[in-house]
């Protein structure tokens, strides 16, 4: 089990430099050959970036078909703990939520964000998981 950071999805949506390896990873989650969490916060963040309601609707419909994906919610209490933890270890709020969840579940995060490298959770890139 893994936690997928939003930047993996955005890599594919915007066809950035590493979109192919990100696509392979996400496709494995879609097929169910790989199991992963994505924070609801990340889904909302991606949706906000997409902006247009029709694009968001297509994105959400697509996520609903991913057999290996669990969209995870954090309570307000957990978000508050994550915010304090983020401040303590030098992460922004978004990264703090991901750190908190990965640490609590004892799972690696799949991300291109090197800010996680200075923490005690494992950060993997898509090619390291495939």
The pLDDT tens digits of the residues spanning 46-81 come to 999 999 999 999 999 999 999 999 999 999 999 999
Task: Give the length of the chain.
Answer: 130
Q: Where are the domains of the chain?
A: 2-129
Determine which helix (DSSP H) or strand (DSSP E) holds 70, and give its type and residue range: strand 69-72
| pTM metric for this prediction | 0.96
In the chain (130 residues long), the average pLDDT of successive 10-residue segments reads 98 96 98 98 98 98 98 98 97 97 98 96 97
Q: How would CATH label the architecture of 2-129?
A: 3-Layer(aba) Sandwich (3.40)
Give the Cα separation of 79 and 91 in Å (integer). Answer: 14
pLDDT at 109: 98
pLDDT at 61: 98
């Amino acid at each position: 089990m893994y936690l997928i950071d939003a930047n993996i999805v955005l890599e594919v949506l915007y066809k950035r430099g590493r979109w192919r390896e990100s696509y392979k990873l996400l496709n494995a989650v879609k097929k169910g050959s790989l199991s992963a969490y994505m924070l609801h916060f990340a889904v909302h963040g991606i949706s906000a970036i997409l902006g247009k309601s029709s694009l968001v609707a297509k994105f959400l419909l697509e996520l609903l078909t991913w057999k290996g994906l669990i969209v995870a919610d954090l309570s307000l209490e957990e978000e508050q703990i994550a915010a304090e933890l983020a401040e303590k270890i030098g992460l922004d709020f978004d990264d703090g939520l991901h750190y908190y969840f990965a640490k609590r579940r004892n799972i690696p995060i799949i991300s291109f964000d090197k800010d996680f490298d200075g923490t005690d959770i494992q950060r993997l890139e898509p090619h390291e998981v495939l």
